Amino acid sequence: MTHDEARDAVQAALGVVAPDIDLDEVEGRSRLRQDLELDSLDFLRLVETLDVQTGVNIPESDYPKVGTVDGLIDYLASGGAGDR
């Protein structure tokens, strides 16, 4: 998956999980839980939505790697390898 495809997937998933978020104002360094105010259930729905859309499973042990929008995009673009 390319970086642009990963960005599109994250934006689409955020639109499903948190439709109140203005996607035009979301920055790459935005923290999903703190800045975008996703609660734990929303975060899990986001991870699940991305798994279905992209086929990339994000195990709980990798959640710290996907705490920001850019971290999530990079993780998806790397096929789930994160920064291993």
pLDDT in tens, 30-71: 999 999 999 999 999 999 999 999 999 999 999 999 999 999
Report yes or no on 15 lying in a domain.
yes
Report yes or no on 61 lying in a domain.
yes
In this predicted model, what pLDDT tens digit does every residue of 5-17 receive, in sequence order? 999 999 999 999 9
In which domain, by residue range, is 33 found? 3-77
**pTM score, two decimals?**
0.88
CATH label of the domain that carries residue 31? 1.10.1200.10
DSSP 8-24: HHHHHHHHHH-TTS-GG
User: In total, how many domains does the chain have?
Assistant: 1
